[in-house]
A and B are shown apart, each in its own frame.
Chain A
Amino acid sequence: MSRHYIMRRLLIAIPSILGISVILFGVLALAPGDPFADLAANPAIPPEVAASLRAKFGLDDPVWLRYVHWLVAMLHGDWGFSFASRIDVDRLILQRLPITLVVIGAAQLLAIVVALPVGVLAGVKPYSIFDQIANTMAFIGFSLPTFFTGLLLILLFSVKLDWLPMVYRTDLASSGWQWWWDQLKQSIMPVAVLGLFQGASLVRYVRSAVLDVVRLDYVTTARSKGIGESAVITRHVVRTALIPVVTLVALQMPVVFGGALVTEQIFRVPGIGSLLISAMLANDTPVVMGVTFVFACLVVFFNLIADILYGWLDPRISYR
């Protein structure tokens, strides 16, 4: 795949981040009142910190200047100070980001592992019993809001059966294998909730992609070569149907992050999602801005991944 293609995609990503930063900052600037008024009033904040924050954000400068200052600060990793948690925002975020990434990654993996074979089988035999059941289950899956599924799972596995812990703990007392087992037990529900939701819509997409491909001429050509039906499906149908699916998985990552927000709340997973919520409830604006900016960057990053993957998988695209 040509390097030009990757370079071009990277270059396009930059204006995207800039655009998003403008919007985020615009939202912040438009917000009435002084979001940092609490700073001055809050006795917990040392006055010199409050003053330096005001200076950094240049609250008395014209808007565009404030934007530039803010952007420069953001890009330098200087994201301010969280007065709720009393540490720098970037350190706070870096502490909590890995857990979110692990949970989301595991959830997507679960979703793919389940949805891919189900979707392919459903698409290859449309309107069969399997397909109808798979379809209906998929609809149920993505009609259940993640918070409801989470609560249901807690009700079943924590309250009634007492198999799994209801709250996620970073300070597990165990070590070695027991630690891994405990870790698994407390991660399984949040991962399952996210994975189920993603998997449900993924099943439909895979099925739809397979349905689109299976009636194309080159599939008939493949069949006429006498390579056997399973080879036709795996080598020709799935390989080409995967192209839109893979890009979709990458593009759906931002949505998954949104889902993680909810899951972390329910299960008290200490990731950046629950950080955002608690920061909002505590009026901790620097953290709010920092986390939102991180989310935005993640979106752009995964869009980039999606573009690159698409170019890699479909030779028609990158040879330009």
Chain B
Amino acid sequence: MADTLLDIRDLKTWFKTDDGMVRAVDGIDLRIDRGETVGVVGESGCGKTVTARSVLKLIDMPPGRFESGQILWQGRDLIPLAADEMDKIRAREIAIIFQEPMTSLNPVYTVGHQIAEVVRQHEKLGHKQAREAAIEMLRLVNIPNPAKRVDDYPHQFSGGMRQRVMIAMAMSCKPKLLIADEPTTALDVTIQAQILELMQEMKERVGMSIMLITHAMGVVAETCQRVVVMYAGKVVEEAPVEALFGNPRHPYTQGLIRSIPRVDRSAEQKHRLEAIPGTVPSLLQPPPGCRFAARCKYVMDVCTKAMPPLKEAAPGHFVRCVL
């Protein structure tokens, strides 16, 4: 059994709204071992961002709450952890980078200051040392002329550079796990490639694990060892990456893969770009059975009656489907 870092067990993160209780994450299990990159895919609203933020307890707790479940970090449940204990885990053990580099950095502080803030907090460095550390981090993420740029403000950087700064900030205390919440969605395709390469480089340098959240299947195929597919707050399939792409077992996963436009097929092989008909079900009152039933082309009576359990269809390949 590989060294398990993060073990999320039956996590339910719900939100109280004017219209009722939104079950954004409704009982998911997720495991990340040391040194692996796990992709979490699904469309917007399926709960992947909420899952990511739940791990670091970055959810606003008045509307949000942990209904049940555990988030085990190296065996320790994070949910009941007090705030000051949690702060020791943030950035030092688990770091997170977000989707929007344009708004994720504070505009009134220099990037050097913001990176230094992390190391000053966790490694108790003085001002000068922290600044040196910040310059070093900027150099590591390939920002040219780091000694000068360290005193620049976020608005003086481009989107891709800001994301590099975010990565520098996240990596500054060499965390064991990096949660990347759609890190490249807001960037150009060419910059995307650079950022993903950078993350891979960082991973190899410090031997950290990555939870890569995305809705782009192509990115997943390139970078992940294992993939978890989420739909409407639940995990519907989990498999090693080759198995997932080679033999997707859940109808939703099949739909996702089929909806990727392919330029490599010849004219005869080309077929219509398939979309998955229908819309995501309400997370306020989820249907009793399988949540994908309304859009599934293989739907049967039994699908709408009860939620299928997550079964191991092949070694390491789990599916939540009656098929």
Note whether A and B contact each other (Cβ less than 8 A). yes
Q: Does the CB pair B104–A221 fall under 8 Å?
A: yes
Q: Does the CB pair B98–A221 fall under 8 Å?
A: yes
Q: Does the CB pair A227–B121 fall under 8 Å?
A: yes
Binds A, one of B1-9, B81-89, B125-133, B262-270: B81-89
Instruction: Check A226/B92 contact, CB under 8 A, given A220-B58, A315-B155, A319-B156.
Output: yes
Q: In the complex, what distance in Å separates the CA atom of A157 from the CA atom of B108? A: 46
Q: Does the CB pair B103–A229 fall under 8 Å?
A: no
A3 within 8 A of B: no
A225 within 8 A of B: yes
Cβ–Cβ < 8 Å partners of B58 in chain A: 220, 223-224
- What's the least CB distance linking B15 to chain A, in Å? 14
Instruction: Check A224/B96 contact, CB under 8 A, given A316-B155, A319-B153.
Output: yes
Q: Nearest residue in B to A128 (C-beta to C-beta)?
A: B62
Interface residues of B in 138-158 (CB under 8 A from A): 153, 155-156
Q: Does the CB pair A226–B104 fall under 8 Å?
A: no
Instruction: Check A314/B107 contact, CB under 8 A, given A217-B98, A226-B87, A226-B122.
Output: yes
Interface residues of A in 220-240 (CB under 8 A from B): 220-229, 235-236, 239-240
Q: Nearest residue in A to B101 (C-beta to C-beta)?
A: A217
Q: In the complex, what distance in Å separates the CA atom of A227 from the CA atom of B88? A: 8
Cβ–Cβ < 8 Å partners of A220 in chain B: 53, 58, 98, 104
Cβ–Cβ < 8 Å partners of B91 in chain A: 224-226
B185 within 8 A of A: no
Instruction: Check A228/B106 contact, CB under 8 A, given A217-B98, A316-B153, A319-B156.
Output: no
A218 within 8 A of B: yes
Q: Does the CB pair A228–B87 fall under 8 Å?
A: yes
A313 within 8 A of B: yes
Q: In the complex, what distance in Å separates the CA atom of A257 from the CA atom of B100? A: 44
B243 within 8 A of A: no
Cβ–Cβ < 8 Å partners of B103 in chain A: 216-218
Cβ–Cβ < 8 Å partners of B67 in chain A: none
Cβ–Cβ < 8 Å partners of A223 in chain B: 58, 90
Cβ–Cβ < 8 Å partners of A316 in chain B: 107, 153, 155
B40 within 8 A of A: no
Q: In the complex, what distance in Å separates the CA atom of A218 from the CA atom of B98? A: 10
Which of B53, B90, B155 touches A226 (beta carbons < 8 Å)? B90
Q: In the complex, what distance in Å separates the CA atom of A223 from the CA atom of B169? A: 13
What are the interface flags for A194-230 relative to B under an 8 Å C-beta threshold, 1 for contact and 0 otherwise? 0000000000000000000000111011111111110
Number of A-B residue pairs, CB cutoff 8 Å, is: 73
Q: Does the CB pair A229–B153 fall under 8 Å?
A: no
Q: Nearest residue in A to B94 (C-beta to C-beta)?
A: A224
B117 within 8 A of A: yes
B95 within 8 A of A: yes
Cβ–Cβ < 8 Å partners of B122 in chain A: 226
Cβ–Cβ < 8 Å partners of B88 in chain A: 226
Cβ–Cβ < 8 Å partners of A227 in chain B: 87, 117-118, 121
Which of B84, B117, B153 touches A225 (beta carbons < 8 Å)? B117
Q: Does the CB pair A313–B95 fall under 8 Å?
A: no
Interface residues of A in 297-320 (CB under 8 A from B): 313-316, 319
Q: Nearest residue in B to A221 (C-beta to C-beta)?
A: B104
What are the interface flags for A5-17 relative to B under an 8 Å C-beta threshold, 1 for contact and 0 otherwise? 0000000000000
Q: Does the CB pair A314–B108 fall under 8 Å?
A: yes
Cβ–Cβ < 8 Å partners of A224 in chain B: 56, 58, 90-91, 95-96
Q: In the complex, what distance in Å separates the CA atom of A315 from the CA atom of B108? A: 6
- What's the least CB distance linking B272 to chain A, in Å? 38
Q: In the complex, what distance in Å separates the CA atom of A168 from the CA atom of B256? A: 79
B105 within 8 A of A: yes
Cβ–Cβ < 8 Å partners of A235 in chain B: 117
Q: In the complex, what distance in Å separates the CA atom of A227 from the CA atom of B119? A: 10
- What's the least CB distance linking B167 to chain A, in Å? 12
Q: Does the CB pair B105–A218 fall under 8 Å?
A: yes
Residue in B89, B107, B118, B166 with the greatest tally of chain A CB atoms within 10 Å: B107
What are the nearest 7 A-B pairs in CB distance?
A: A226-B90, A226-B87, A217-B103, A218-B106, A226-B91, A315-B153, A217-B104
Q: List 23 A-B contacts (CB under 8 A).
A: A218-B103, A218-B104, A218-B105, A220-B104, A223-B90, A224-B56, A224-B96, A225-B90, A225-B121, A225-B169, A226-B87, A226-B90, A226-B92, A226-B118, A226-B122, A227-B87, A227-B118, A228-B87, A314-B108, A315-B107, A315-B155, A319-B153, A319-B155
Q: Point out residues on A near B: beta carbons under 8 Å.
A: 216-218, 220-229, 235-236, 239-240, 243, 313-316, 319
Given A224-B56, A226-B89, 14 new contacts (CB under 8 A): A217-B104, A218-B103, A218-B104, A220-B53, A220-B104, A221-B104, A221-B106, A224-B90, A225-B121, A226-B87, A226-B118, A226-B121, A243-B108, A316-B107
